Structure 1
Amino acid sequence: MSIIGNIIWIIFGGIFIFLEYIICGLLMCLTIVGIPFGLKIIQLSVLGLAPFGQRVEYNEHAGGCLSIILNIIWIFIGGLWIALTHVLFALLFAITIIGIPFAAQHIKLAGYALTPFGKSIR
C-alpha cells in the first residue's frame, strides 16, 4: 500500500517538494555555517519524495542542547515557512476523503520540518 501511496504522492506534487528541498539544501551547503542545515534539508527531501512507509523518530543520542540550539536557529531560518506550507497543503488535501492520507503525511512532514535536529527517519 505504501508503494501505491508514494506513486500517487509523487504525481500530485511530491516531486516538486523534493526538488524544492534539494535546491534549498544545496544552496544552504554553499556556506560552512549552513552545512548542517543543508544536510537536514536534504534528509527532509528524501522524506518529501516518499513519505508513506517511513517514520520520524527521536534520536536517543541527539546531541543535547546543540540540537535545541540548531532547532531554534532553524525555525527562524526557514523551518516555520516550510511547516506552514505543509499545513496549507494538508488543509487542501483534507477537503476530500481521498486526500486525508496525504494530509496526514503533510502534517508529519510539517512536524519534521519545524524541528528536524534530534530526529531521524526510519
Structure 2
Amino acid sequence: MKKVLIVDDMSFMRFALRKLLEKNEYEVIGEAKDGEEAIKKYAQYKPDIVTMDITMPKMSGIEALKDILQQDPQAKIVMVSAMGQTSYVKEALVNGAKYFIVKPFKEDKVIETLQKVSAL
C-alpha cells in the first residue's frame, strides 16, 4: 500500500482527497495545510507520494516542492491545483513535479496519475 502525504490549505480538499485515496487502497500518512508544514511532514513520514497544492499561505507549493526535492531528489510530488494555467504547469514540472492534476479533479484521473507516479 502506497503512503501519501496530502498538502492543501483547504480542509475540505484534504478531506476529499483522503476519502478518494483511502477508498482506492492508498494509505494517507499525513496532511499539511501549507508548504512549511509539508516540508516538516515529508521529513517526518517519508511518504511514497505527495499531492501538493500550489497556492497556500506561508510558503507556496512550488517553493515546498523545491525544498523537498533538495532533501530527497527521488521524492514523487504531484501538483494538484485549481490554477491550470500553462505557466504554473510548466513551473511545477521544470522544478521537479512528476505530474499536474487540475481541480476540480475526477477520481479516475487522480488514481491513474498516482499509479503512473508509483511506477517511476
Q: Report if TM-score (shorter chain) is over 0.5.
A: no
Higher share in strand: 2
Q: TM-score, normalised by structure 1?
A: 0.27
Higher relative CO (Cα under 8 Å, sequence separation at least 6) belongs to 1
Q: TM-score, normalised by structure 2?
A: 0.27
